[in-house]
Amino acid sequence: MEIKPALAEQARQLAQVEASQPFAAGWGENGFEGEIGLPCSVLLAAQEGSSVLGFICLRYAADTAEIVNLAVRADCLRRGIGRQLLQQVVLRAQQLGVREITLEVNEHNSAAICLYEQAGFKTLNRRKNFYVGADALLMGKTV
Ligand SMILES: CC(C)(COP(=O)(O)OP(=O)(O)OC[C@H]1O[C@@H](n2cnc3c(N)ncnc32)[C@H](O)[C@@H]1OP(=O)(O)O)[C@@H](O)C(=O)NCCC(=O)NCCS
């Protein structure tokens, strides 16, 4: 498995991975096409051969950044792919001069919360009813 910057021709596969996961952002193919190549965006894909197994996207401005989308294909979970994507995007953010990374996560999304906590993210705040029927946890990490 390799983790590399996503390419425009992978937009459809990225959208398929996203659609396999209910807690992902819901950008769809057009959203990924628009994201790829945007300045201030880092979109990494985990790949095996020509298959996309997962992705992570971070947007940054000066020394702050936000993880805005992350998913691993439903049939590839618990293989360490999410952890490696997160590690790689944090490294990339550090190289870009980012000092703080934040994200919002559904309070019921225990898989993602465990992943982020394992990577050293802490809950900074709670946004009441940010999602339909659920709060968002604002999590962050100094890098
Ligand atoms: C969150 C997600 C990216 C994790 O991907 P993954 O490749 O399965 O995660 P990993 O195998 O790298 O697991 C790393 C750690 O995350 C935590 N974790 C992952 N899945 C978990 C689960 N179902 N329950 C509890 N903890 C879980 C564990 O701490 C795990 O470490 P361990 O395997 O040593 O116990 C994946 O479940 C997913 O795509 N979820 C839907 C989309 C989503 O929630 N995106 C984030 C929105 S903020």
Q: What is the mean pLDDT of each run of 10 residues along the chain (143 residues)?
A: 97 97 94 95 97 98 97 97 98 98 98 98 97 96 97
- Provide the CA 100 distance to its chain's centre, in angstroms: 15
Structural domain of 47: 2-142
For the chain, the domain total comes to 1
Q: Whose CA is nearest to atom 38 of ligand 1?
A: 71
**pLDDT for 48:** 97
Could you tell me which of 48, 47, 13, 23 has the C-alpha nearest to residue 115? 23
- Claim: this prediction has a pTM higher than 0.85: yes
> Ligand 1 centroid vs 46 CA: distance in angstroms?
14
Q: Whose CA is nearest to atom 30 of ligand 1?
A: 115
**pLDDT for 108:** 97
**pLDDT for 25:** 93
CATH number at residue 103: 3.40.630.30
**pLDDT for 93:** 98
**pLDDT for 60:** 98
**pLDDT for 37:** 85
